[in-house]
Chain A
Amino acid sequence: MPEAPRVPSTARHYAQAVFDLAEQEKDFSAWQRRLQLLRELLEKGDLGQTLAEPSLRIAQKLELCRAILERDAGIDQPARNLLLLLVSSQRQRLLPAIQEAYRELVDKREGRVLAQLTTAIPVSQAEQKRLAAQLSRRLNVEVRFEATVDPSILGGAVVRVGDRVFDASLTARLQQLRQQLLAQSAN
């Protein structure tokens, strides 16, 4: 099953700030792009590792970042500032979490939610749409799916919306049957 990304509360504060900025600019996608670019920058090469190095002083790390950002034309000023801010307080590792929290905020604003759909065998787009429509009606928000395949659930489907799971998998049903039979034998 896909591991849910963990978002610590500090990341939420940064995400909220970024979201407020984006709201002022009335352009949510620009920040989404910026966060994605910064994340790629940190993950590609060994920049992320170098920045985590405890033996380097923060001033040195900031200098290193500036030098790299000079050469990378794709990253604009607000994005640069965010990265430098994060590096100066040793929080560049929060970036994926900030991206995730930002996406959640945008989704909430637009009245949508990203749900994880897990099935034992791949399901067609049409089926996904049908399921999403059903779920949307029930939860009163627009549901989009991120589909994964996990044969270990045997059959059925597991849907995760945030922390909530709707487990209609065969394993869960077998588990329930097992418990009922055991409860029966205990009496």
Chain B
Amino acid sequence: MSISAAEIGQIIKRKITDFDAPVVSAESGVITTLGDGIAQIYGLQGAMEGELLAFPNDIMGLALNLEEDQVRAIILGPYEELREGDEVRTTGRVVEVPVGRELVGRVVNALGEPIDGKGEIATKERRPVERQAPGVVDRQPVNTPVQTGIKAIDALIPIGRGQRELIIGDRQIGKTAIAIDAIINQKGKKLTCIYVAIGQNAAAVARTAAVLEEYGALDHTIIVAATSGESAALNYLVPYSGCAMGEWFMEQGEDALIVYDDLSKHAWAYREISLALRRPPGREAYPGDVFYLHSRLLERAARLNDEKGGGSLTALPIIETQANDVSAYIPTNVISITDGQIYLEGDLFYAGTRPAISVGLSVSRVGGDAMTKALRSVAGGLRLDLAQYRALAAFAQFSSDLDKATRDQLDRGQRLTELLKQDQYAPVSLALQVMTLFAGTRGYLDKVPVDKVSEWDSQFRRYAGQTLQKLADEIEKKKVLDDAMQEELGKALEGFNQGFDIGDEAPPAAEV
């Protein structure tokens, strides 16, 4: 689309002749102190909490502390040009971001401006970043699953649409990977994803964008990023901006998934701002309202009732722990806000269990209702089996003579653990999850040596793709696994196992 210079001239000419600006009437104040991204402003008696303030040179600020004769504001954007004595005016507006479908596939900053070099985004609507969460009467219980494509999560810690599920663990053990896999798995599933990067380095954000693009997941994803190079003010604002974009989809009656990566850095940014605003520090130097900071954000994730369109916004906040310490201030806060957590353990990760989900410590408080019937019928006892296996395995380390029942349980547990391992960027469809877990929990894997389970898994996947397509389609469509289907699947598994080369006759593995 191109407009000729003459046309532009015409438009501008018309604009200028029609131009009618009312007299600007605003509260004004003067910057008295400036530093750390905070301006102290004398005056502004009529400023509102959270109001957008206009500084010179089109720089904007956010009024946060209203005091008797001054206002303290955080400055959004570069503040090097501002000087003491500059005039500040109120605008009567609050911070807004563009929202809408046009943002999908783009990378934007905390204010919704594009940062991916793909040009302007022609959005039609804007909405305030801070909004009240939907009330009690506007919601309905979570009852539809978000398929993450990760076997361990979908089978053990199912996530429902509208749920808030925390992903927590130390650095570099696959927290972001889980979120990215979940986003990749939503391809073609009518679930828009928003990935909010808070305080990450710009290279990491670029890498995430590249991965999503490579797996074709950017077509249903918005990336909202505030990098560590940007001011604390923008890092503080960015989750709320992303949430406003997600809420738009929810209110259109659609489903959206938002990942906050990560809220620890968000809390740091808020701590920095609060200390610079001279709010009193509390535990770990966080301000007193750091709980409210996250609770009001996560409360905006919801499943709306049918009168409101029935849309949903699912939140996957991420928290980074230091040395597995989940009892630090921010982790405990966010654990208590969310509807469950996926706990990743470094020991598991380094032992090769990837994703390194700790089955015992992870929980989904509402997702069970959202699990599909098919998956529930095969994964019902899985959680208990695995928990018992863990307890037994620890105990069995000290003795070699075990009775058969115990040995069987250990064997089963080992194979199930193997079966739940999964490569990165390789989400598994619902039907395949159901089939492999069926094999695992009904004993079709008991003859397969432990070290061959992953090979069995990949071969079976190929086999299923070729010969079990009809059954798979049926599971995907009906979301149940009835007796007839179970029988068919059982026969197919027996047939496949006969053809599968289990190598040397493996001795029943009792040692762990």
Contacts and interface: CB of A to CB of B under 8 A. Distances in A.
Interface stretch (A33-41, A46-54, A70-78, A160-168): A160-168
Contacts of B25: 164-167
A3 B30 contact: yes
A167 B15 contact: no
Interface residues of A, number: 24
Contacts of B12: 181
B23 A167 contact: yes
B45 A1 contact: no
A173 B43 CA distance: 24
Interface in B1-28: 11-12, 15-16, 19, 21, 23-28
A4 interface: yes
B85 interface: yes
A187 B68 CA distance: 41
Contacts of A167: 23-26
A184 B43 CA distance: 33
A149 B33 CA distance: 27
Given A164-B46, A186-B120, A177 B19 contact: yes
A157 B35 CA distance: 32
B378 interface: no
What is the predominant secondary structure among interface residues of chain A facing chain B? Answer: mixed
B15 A184 contact: yes
B69 to A, nearest CB: 6
Contacts of B42: 4, 6
Contact of A176 (B21, B44, B87, B120): B21
B16 A177 contact: yes
Contacts, number: 65
B271 interface: no
Contact of A1 (B15, B27, B69, B87): B87
B47 to A, nearest CB: 9
A15 B201 CA distance: 53
Interface string B294-314: 000000000000000000000
Interface in A108-129: none
A9 interface: yes
A173 B21 contact: yes
Contacts of A9: 68-69
Contact of B11 (A162, A164, A184): A184
Interface in A55-96: none
A176 B89 CA distance: 14
A177 B21 contact: yes
A7 interface: yes
A4 B45 CA distance: 13
Contacts of A187: 122, 124
Contacts of A186: 120, 122
Interface string A131-175: 000000000000000000000000000001011111110001100
B19 A8 contact: no
Nearest to B122: A187
Interface string A1-22: 1011011110000000000000
B24 A166 contact: yes
A180 interface: yes
A167 B54 CA distance: 14
A3 B68 CA distance: 19
Contacts of B44: 163
B27 A8 contact: no
B32 interface: yes
A9 B42 CA distance: 12
B11 A163 contact: no
Interface of A: 1, 3-4, 6-9, 160, 162-168, 172-173, 176-177, 180-181, 184, 186-187
Closest 10 CB pairs of A and B: A167-B24, A176-B21, A168-B23, A165-B28, A163-B45, A163-B43, A6-B42, A163-B27, A173-B21, A9-B68
